[in-house]
Amino acid sequence: MRIAFIGLGNMGGGMAANLVKAGHDVRAFDLSDDALAAAKDAGCTTFTSASEACAEAEAVVSMLPNGAIVKSVYESDVIGKAPQGAVFLDCSTIDVATAREVISAAESAGYDMVDAPVSGGIAAANGGTLTFMVGGAESAFERAKPILEAMGKAVIHAGDAGNGQAAKICNNMLLAIHMAGTCEAFKMAEKLGLEAQTFYDISSVSSGQNWSMTSYCPVPGVGPQSPSDNDYQGGFATALMLKDLRLAMEAADSADAPVPMGARAAALYEDFNGAGNGGLDFSAIIKML
């Protein structure tokens, strides 16, 4: 399949490369010359504009920084530029309202489109083991699914347009809450004279067990390998977690959904990011304690 891929950053570059490995003809565009060069090395054909990349594409995949950019790119370079019959897959993490607006515009112009944000981070993007949460019509999902399966280990239909974004921000709000609580528990155990490994051995098989503890432990040298073992480099940056938490807070306000724990987690990450820690993995919030 001829697939235009727009946005070749830390996540998009690996995703595009996996589409090439799956046998697709990937037509890549990014504003960064370095990103384009890396995509070319991975087997993509590169273009000097998004509209040129889309011109003969049967599918368009995008991985962009925010909703405003997604809306602008689709309005100016994708809708009406890609051939009729193409399917669009936006894998960016953006606000629910913009996702639904862009999908509605695409559908009005005769295209199928889904929102398909991801979970898994850079390593999963490179390894083709992402999880995709997909919103959109059943027919659009069925068209998008084989493309997403070339980049991930799980592709789950979340329902109507925008529901992929809803699933992503709810999931990451819960992740932030779990991580903050896990960090508190480890530091409290330390201050009470309980060694981190001993606490891990107990809590990891008890009711306090959670993913942030047993798969992504914020304490160096405890549990499986994680960013804490690399001085909190790599992984999922604090700035990106904060982006998702801000989206979650906006969505909660619009839906009149009470999220007291989510709001507290968002406030903690605002403080941690504001202290110059945006580039550290989000588990580094343990440093605040």
Enumerate residues 6+ apart whose C-beta is below 8 A from 60: 3, 4, 5, 6, 54, 78, 82, 86, 87, 88, 89
- Cβ of 48: how many Cβ atoms within 10 Å? 9
Helix (H) or strand (E) holding 41: helix 33-41
Judge contact between 66 and 93, C-beta under 8 A.
Answer: no
Residue 13 CA to residue 67 CA, distance in Å, equals: 19
Q: Could you tell me the two tokens for 159?
A: 């329902």
Judge contact between 112 and 139, C-beta under 8 A.
Answer: yes
Q: Could you tell me the two tokens for 55?
A: 């011109």
> Which of 21, 71, 145, 168 is labelled catalytic?
168
Is residue 168 among the annotated active site residues?
yes
Q: Which residues are catalytic?
A: 168
